[in-house]
Amino acid sequence: MNPHLQQLQAYPFDRLRTLLKGVSPPAELRAIPMSVGEPRHAPPAIVIQALRDSMNTLGSYPATAGVPEFRQTVARWLTRRFRLPPNSVDSETMILPVNGTREALFAIVQAVVDLNANRGVPAILMPNPLYLIYEGAAFLSGAEPFYMNADAGNGFLPDLDAVPGSVWERCQLLFLCSPGNPTGRVAGIDYLRRALELADSYDFIVASDECYSEIYDDEANPPAGLLEAAKERDQFARCLVFHSLSKRSSVPGLRSGFVAGDPNIIKSFLLYRTYHGCAMPTHTQLGSIPAWNDETHVVENRRLYREKFRAVIPILEPVMEVTAPDAGFYLWPRVDDDERFTRELLADQNVTVVPGRYLACDTPSGNPGNGRIRISLVPTVSECVTAAERIREYIEKR
């Protein structure tokens, strides 16, 4: 077996199940799960219809590079959304369909890491808290994860200039996540440009996980993206962005996303994926096209999340330190003991959240998730309000 498998920690939800084992929540209270970031808004009818209309494609193997119509749709969406120069995104060479961002974020590390680069042990830099896929991908590639803590002290945005030069010299890939999971913090254009300056200086790739980019509060100010910051660069050199319909269109089960950016990286990644055997089914691509072409359902998604935040935060503010995020659909409030809080909340109120320490890694300067919990505002508005009232009641009883 791959010896690096022993380096993987238990996944957050496996740890959560272990923590909650034996807890008996009150039977008279209906369960409200707010632990998993799984959107539960109704899927767009246009996606369902497009899937039905494309069932005739089931008789053929899909191409790893995808169908031209999918890539062209994505290229147009990226250009509109991030105000890119016309024709700057080449649908033939800069875009690949992927089965959700999770598998692509893992796979890109396996394709990128060069253990013979004569720069010491390869380093993969990542924010902390983090999507644990970043860490697992680093370990299984033979690289070393380097955690950039994001906490209240730096405004929940990793300080790139605090990373030692000796680490940057070993860096082969930098993961960014904006809007952040679970903090909801958005990286601005200047921050993204600074990451690209470092990439040029130290010769590494910037991989920007932007799967929460379409869930934000201010319709006039959407979060910036890496390609937007790189639009003056030749063919988005050193840049990769990862996007998905899971959050944007509330279709996590569709497993539809894409990676876009530097054509030289995309070319090699396509070769890797051809052998990896992870082509997106043709009907999934065709079902995704109307979702990328339509903004009406996404605006409605944002309205619902906005309504949840504005209903829930006033209920919780009197009893806990909680603020609205820049974007995304998580709350990241401070508590005393995140594991105890999570276990007791389920036992007392039948509401499930996640201890913050499970979404971050231990470092010499501590675990930035300690003393926080993640609350996913994915249930209905009324359920979110009920959950907030129960959380408040639990805190007040303590």
**Residue 186 sits in the same domain as residue 262:** yes
The pLDDT score that the predictor gives to residue 178 is 97
Q: What is the CATH number of the domain that holds 287?
A: 3.40.640.10
CA 205 to chain centre: 18
Residues 249 and 191 in one domain: yes
Q: Which two tokens stand for residue 183?
A: 């903090």
Residue 139 reports pLDDT greater than 90: yes
Beta bridge partners of 26: none
Q: What confidence score (pLDDT) does residue 223 get?
A: 98
- State the pLDDT at residue 334: 97
In the chain, what is the straight-line distance between the N-terminal and C-terminal CA atoms, in Å?
48
Q: Could you say which of 266, 294, 322 is where a domain stops?
A: 294
Nearest of 374, 395, 369 to residue 152 by alpha carbon: 369
182 and 93 in a common domain = yes
Cis status, amide bond into 182, omega within 30 of 0: yes
Domain final residue pick, 259, 276, 294:
294
* Residue 118 confidence (pLDDT) above 90: no
Q: Domain boundary residue among 276, 294, 312? A: 294
Segment 292-314 shows an average pLDDT of 97
Cβ neighbours for 392, distance < 8 A, ≥ 6 positions apart: 315, 316, 318, 319
Residue 315: CB atoms within 10 A of its CB come to: 18
Are residues 128 and 50 part of one domain? yes
The verdict on 202 and 337 lying in the same domain is: no
| Same domain assignment for residues 307 and 202 | no
Identify the bridge partners of residue 240 per DSSP, sorted by sequence position. Answer: 207, 261
339: domain CATH number?
A: 3.90.1150.10
pLDDT confidence bin for 117, thresholds 50/70/90: confident
pLDDT number for residue 299: 97
Query: Based on the structure, what is the number of domains in the chain?
Result: 2
Check whether residue 191 and residue 224 sit in a common domain.
yes
Q: Domain check: are 9 and 103 in the same one?
A: no
Same domain, 243 and 302: no
Residues 163, 101: one domain?
A: yes
188-243 residue pLDDT tens: 999 999 999 999 999 999 999 999 999 999 999 999 999 999 999 999 999 999 99
Pairing relationship of beta strands 123-128 and 171-177 according to DSSP bridges: parallel
The range of the structural domain enclosing residue 266 comes to 45-294
Check whether residue 188 and residue 206 sit in a common domain: yes
Kindly state whether residues 170 and 96 are assigned to the same domain: yes
* Exposure class string for 130-162: b at 16+ Cβ within 10 A, else e: bbbbbbbbbbbbbbebbbbbbbeeeebbbebee
- Residue 119 pLDDT more than 90? no
* Mean pLDDT for the chain overall: 96
The stretch 32-54 carries a mean pLDDT of 95
Summarize pLDDT for 330-355 with one digit per residue, the tens.
999 999 999 999 999 999 999 999 99
Q: What is the pLDDT of residue 398?
A: 82
pLDDT at 359: 97
For the chain, give the percent of residues with pLDDT over 70.
100
